[in-house]
Amino acid sequence: MLQRLGVEAGCVSGMLARLLALLGVVVPYELAAQLVYLCFGVTVSPMTVWRAVQRLGAACERYIEAQAAFHSDGRNNQAELHRRGVDAVILGVDGAALGMQVRATRRRRVDGVPLPPLPPVEDGHFREVKTGVMLLPAERYEPTPGRHSVVRRVLCTCLGDADQIFARLRAKLHALGWLGTATVVVVVGDGAEWLWKRAALFPRRCEILDFWHAIEKAWAFAHARYGDGSARATRWISRVADDLRAGRVGEVILRLQRLRATNEEQQEALDALLRYYTDNRARMRYDEYRRQGYGIGSGAVESAHKQVLHARLRQAGMRWSEAGARHLLALRVLLLNGEWSLLDRLAMTPLAA
């Protein structure tokens, strides 16, 4: 019975544990412990907050994985095969690096002696956190001219491979009732090959190359040809941007093919830009996407990265164990999606599990 209730000897449980986890999801564990005392007069250690996050985070992570496995099994989706869903859903996916711990086991103080500083994070001690954001074109609006926003968005994240994030995204779309036989899934990305390969998971899809990544690639060539900060580079980029917005990507590619580089650096930048535009030409019909209300940028997923990852897990000096990062990411997405009450239905996982 105690195991089913998620009660573990010597550990905080119930609503207090959920409160500790909530604070630990928002702020560092040391500050969370201080806030508990200042707000409620209860003295807890940062390690107590950490334990609450690990136990609830493990339960949340297990629930998310079970949801993804359920919807990945075609036998469980038979009733949904004839669901219409929504007309279109926008899906943005991107990755960001997270510094990981360089030791295999947790360090512990001996006789109260302070621990020495951690070694620097080197190449190879980073993991990529993949984050996806889902929103409906019908819920996009323009609060002020030129500024766009959305009524709601739904987030997914994982510390894992591309297959895992797309399995979670697909499961979430099913759970929301957004994915149906007639739904067009609009996938917005930066041109990474892994993204377009997984987009094939959705038979009815529209792939869009992020407009600002396309312009960023053009800037690399403009700097090489005209110099950093030059007025000619700015004018050239302005023309490219106007043509791309108007759907004239073919004309842009033709002009690039006629250009002649004057040195090796320019030639490399020109070849890279031509290859990038040619490979993604079918994903750069920006005039059509704007008419359909899809948008042409990946600002939503860039913003999601800042809220899910940067605001909590990428503060100065922070490095994470794999389990610690997974559990905190699961809880943080739960909070940002407005689904924190789901924890009331999940039994806390014992730390030894």
Bigger pLDDT: 209 vs 105: 209
- The pLDDT of residue 160 is 79
- pTM of the predicted model as reported, rounded to 2 decimal places: 0.86
pLDDT tens column, 163-176: 999 999 999 999 99
pLDDT tens column, 28-38: 999 999 999 99
User: What are the domain boundaries of the chain?
Assistant: 86-209, 213-283
- The pLDDT of residue 150 is 83
Cα separations in angstroms, 52 against 1, 108, 163, 240, 321: 20, 19, 29, 52, 16
pLDDT tens column, 233-285: 999 999 999 999 999 999 999 999 999 988 999 999 999 999 999 999 999 99
- The pLDDT of residue 146 is 72
CATH number for the segment(s) 86-209: 3.30.420
Has residue 1 got a pLDDT over 50?
no
Task: Decide: 55 and 11 in contact? Cβ < 8 Å.
Answer: yes
Strands 154-158 and 147-150, bridge-based pairing: unpaired
CA distance linking residue 25 with residue 50, whole number of Å:
10
CA distance linking residue 335 with residue 20, whole number of Å:
13
